[in-house]
């Protein structure tokens, strides 16, 4: 009965856990999404378990060689039972062999295993860094898609109001049927924007849900804005932070230390081990003890090949470290240039282009309603404002994405 109750409780626990994983919270912020990613991502869980498996190698590396027991009992006359005399006629030889590792083999194994664990920890951190960048850019894309959807609905509603007003003008004979048909046809642009924005929201929702480990993300929503913060950044401080924090560079540096430990291990494995074997022997009524010392004659095999391989691996890893360092600085420089370009474009839209396009649209609308301009100029002004609005929102999103890319390049969190 107790076993049955335990199984029911365990099943209910797993079901609740699975339900919680398949049912995301209604609205999450970027901070919430990062916390969920770090605790629930199947990729990060798999990486953590793999690192624990690698770390288990430290236990194996620290083990000593087991002693070997030998029990040899001979001269039993099983086909002549009458002549069995274990106390006087049979021979017993018992020994225990101990291997003494020389050259610091055990210490070198432990050092190499610990270095391997450290490199794997760096690689796991780098995988998390890349996943977090993917999450941040997806989150920004989700917020952008929602704002584009809201703007598309607003633009469509305003255009339909304009269309209704021109229907009244058509009925009054102020405009021709051809002009009204052109206005009606141009509504397709706004309808297309609405459909595209709806699809973008759904795609961003599905992508974000997959990153967070949700099998059903239909109820997932995000809470955030595309406000551009003012960040006091300099390229020199970003380079310093990147070289101190970039996990791929740390992995390259730790790989040099690991290969150095592997070289020491290869050198230690070339040392000669000693096997000491004390022995007790009883032959008939005689009791004797002895000792055997065994060791290989390292005439041919002194582990030369492994020493050479380890030395080349060490030399190679040093070049990889330098190449990774240069790549880190290049990544920071490229991300910095991307941030500066995105920030410059965003400032133009926010301080000039958006307001100018709005003013032009309002003036052209007034002129068209009073017969001072033609239909084509009016439609061009409406389209231009629509394009500038979309570009302005996208420019804000590009700045935030560039900041996240800069955070990724420097392995820091630049947004407050």
Report pLDDT digits (tens) over 126-135: 999 999 999 9
Q: Which residue stretches of 56-176 are H helix? A: 57-61, 105-172
Residue 266 pLDDT level (bands cut at 50, 70, 90) = very high
* For range 296-307, the mean pLDDT: 93
Axis-axis angle for helices 304-348, 235-245 (nearest 10): 150
Here the CATH number for the domain that contains residue 324 is 1.20.1600.10
In a domain, 330, yes or no: yes
Tell me, what DSSP letter sits at residue 78?
T
Is residue 57 predicted with pLDDT exceeding 50? yes
In a domain, 87, yes or no: no
Number of domains in the chain: 1
What tokens does 284 get? Answer: 């008939």
* For range 290-296, the mean pLDDT: 93
Distance between CA atoms of 238 and 385, rounded to whole angstroms? 38
In a domain, 320, yes or no: yes
The confidence score (pLDDT) of residue 379 equals 73
In a domain, 160, yes or no: yes
Distance between CA atoms of 401 and 138, rounded to whole angstroms? 9
Distance between CA atoms of 325 and 412, rounded to whole angstroms? 17
Residue 86 pLDDT level (bands cut at 50, 70, 90) = low
Query: 235, 152 in Cβ contact below 8 A?
Result: no
Range of the domain at 366: 25-65+106-270+305-410
Is residue 215 predicted with pLDDT exceeding 90? no
Is residue 156 predicted with pLDDT exceeding 90? no
Mean predicted lDDT score pLDDT of the chain: 87
Comparing CA positions, the residue from 98, 103, 107, 124 lying closest to residue 58 is 107
The number of CA neighbours under 13 Å toward the Cβ of 180 is: 15
Residue 24 pLDDT level (bands cut at 50, 70, 90) = low
Tell me, what DSSP letter sits at residue 303?
S
Q: Is 104 exposed, middle or buried (0-12, 13-18, 19+ CB in 10 A)?
A: middle
In a domain, 110, yes or no: yes
The confidence score (pLDDT) of residue 82 equals 62
In a domain, 99, yes or no: no
What tokens does 150 get? Answer: 């809201």
């Amino acid at each position: 009965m107790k076993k049955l109750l335990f199984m029911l409780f365990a099943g209910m626990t797993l079901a609740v856990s699975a339900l919680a994983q398949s049912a995301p919270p209604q609205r999450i912020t970027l901070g919430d999404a990062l916390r969920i990613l770090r605790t629930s991502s199947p990729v990060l869980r798999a990486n953590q378990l793999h690192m624990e498996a690698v770390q288990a190698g430290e236990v194996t590396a620290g083990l000593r060689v087991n002693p070997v027991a030998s029990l040899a009992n001979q001269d039993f006359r099983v086909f002549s039972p009458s002549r069995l005399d274990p106390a006087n006629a049979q021979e017993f030889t018992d020994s225990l062999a101990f291997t003494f590792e020389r050259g610091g083999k055990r210490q070198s194994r432990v050092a190499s295993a610990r270095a391997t664990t450290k490199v794997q920890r760096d690689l796991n951190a780098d995988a998390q860094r890349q996943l977090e960048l993917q999450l941040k850019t997806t989150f920004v894309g989700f917020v952008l898609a929602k704002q584009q959807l809201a703007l598309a609905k607003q633009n469509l509603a305003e255009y339909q109001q304009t269309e209704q007003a021109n229907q009244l003008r058509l009925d009054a004979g102020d405009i021709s049927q051809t002009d009204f048909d052109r206005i009606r046809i141009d509504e397709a642009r706004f309808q297309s924007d609405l459909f595209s924005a709806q699809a973008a929201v759904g795609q961003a929702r599905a992508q974000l849900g997959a990153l967070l480990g949700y099998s059903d993300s239909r109820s997932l929503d995000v809470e955030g804005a595309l406000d551009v913060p003012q960040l006091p950044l300099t390229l020199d401080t970003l380079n310093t932070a990147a070289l101190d924090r970039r996990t791929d560079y740390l992995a390259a540096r730790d790989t040099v230390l690991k290969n150095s430990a592997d070289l020491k291990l290869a050198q230690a494995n070339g040392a000669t081990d000693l096997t000491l074997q004390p022995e007790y022997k009883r032959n008939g009524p005689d009791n004797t003890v002895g000792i055997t010392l065994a060791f290989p004659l390292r005439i041919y095999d002194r582990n030369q090949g492994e020493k050479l391989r380890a030395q080349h691996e060490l030399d190679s890893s040093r070049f990889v470290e330098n190449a990774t360092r240069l790549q880190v600085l290049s990544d920071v420089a490229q991300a910095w240039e991307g941030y500066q370009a995105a920030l410059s474009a965003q400032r133009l839209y926010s301080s000039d282009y958006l307001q100018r396009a709005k003013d032009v649209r309002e003036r052209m609308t007034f002129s068209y309603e009073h017969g001072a301009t033609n239909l084509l100029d009016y439609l061009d002004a409406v389209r231009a404002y629509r394009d500038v609005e979309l570009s302005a929102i996208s420019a804000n999103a590009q700045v935030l994405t560039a900041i996240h890319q800069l955070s990724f390049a420097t392995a820091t969190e630049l947004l407050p």
